[in-house]
Structure 1
Amino acid sequence: MKGTYLGELEELILLTVGILYPDAYTVAVMDEIEKQTGRSLNISAVHTVLTRLEDKGFLKSKMSDPTDERGGRRKRIFLLTAAGKRSLEESNELRNQLFNQIPKVAFQFKLS
């Protein structure tokens, strides 16, 4: 398995694959990210990150059955692995630990 560090886009795509279970394919992931975040991504960027996450062992993929709507073509469906779930949990835990260490006074802003 390649390195386990998750970049921001990798984490976003990994979360989105989980949200779309069991129908996470490249275009669906791209569309869901735009819907959820307003962030427009290039399809090749999404595909590249999905492939990288699969190489890291955080995702696995399988081919769907052919569909009439796609002219008999199949989709590559992505699924979280146990390592992907663990990576998301660790990332979430770290973010929460760091956030909880910010003194409340740091969030008290005065309008001037």
Structure 2
Amino acid sequence: MNTYPLGEFEEIVLLTVGVLYNEAYGVAIKDAIEEKAQRKVSVGALQSALKRMEKKGYLESREGEANAQRGGKPKRFYTITAFGKRALQQSRDIRIELWESIPKLALEFKFS
């Protein structure tokens, strides 16, 4: 079985890129993660993760058109590759298997 290791933050970033689909660029990804996951994301951490996942083959990127609002700098849009999809599927399958393996009693809360 091939493994596609994903850290928690990488998984959240990949899922967010999927949610945003054709509108997945840095600021939109950051804003969506902060809104949905209720956690602060630094631009540096996000950019590092995006570059790392692109290098691993989980993402690919393309430049959009230059924009006067951005000082002529184009947005970089990200999409999930087939390899990235397999990594997400494997991560989901592992989590489901673990959740389903927890004995019901283990999740009962007892208050003293």
TM range (shorter): over 0.9
Shift of 1:4: 3.2
Structure 2: gaps (5+ residues):
none
1:14-62 per-position Cα deviation (integer Å, ceiling 9, x unaligned):
1111111111111111111000011001101000000000000000000
Question: Contact between 2:4 and 2:90, CA under 8 Å: does it hold in 1?
Answer: no
**What's the Cα RMSD here?**
1.3
Structure 1: gaps (5+ residues):
none
Alignment correspondent of 1:5: 5
Shift of 1:73: 1.9
Deviating 4+ runs (over 4 angstroms): none
Q: Tell me, yes or no, if structure 1 residue 103 matches structure 2 residue 103.
A: yes
Question: Contact between 2:4 and 2:86, CA under 8 Å: does it hold in 1?
Answer: no
Shift of 1:107: 1.3
Aligned residues: 110
Alignment correspondent of 1:74: 74
TM-score (structure 1 length as normaliser)? 0.92
Select the structure that is richer in helix. 2
SS in 2 for 1:29: helix
Alignment correspondent of 2:18: 18
Q: Match of 1:54, as an amino acid?
A: E
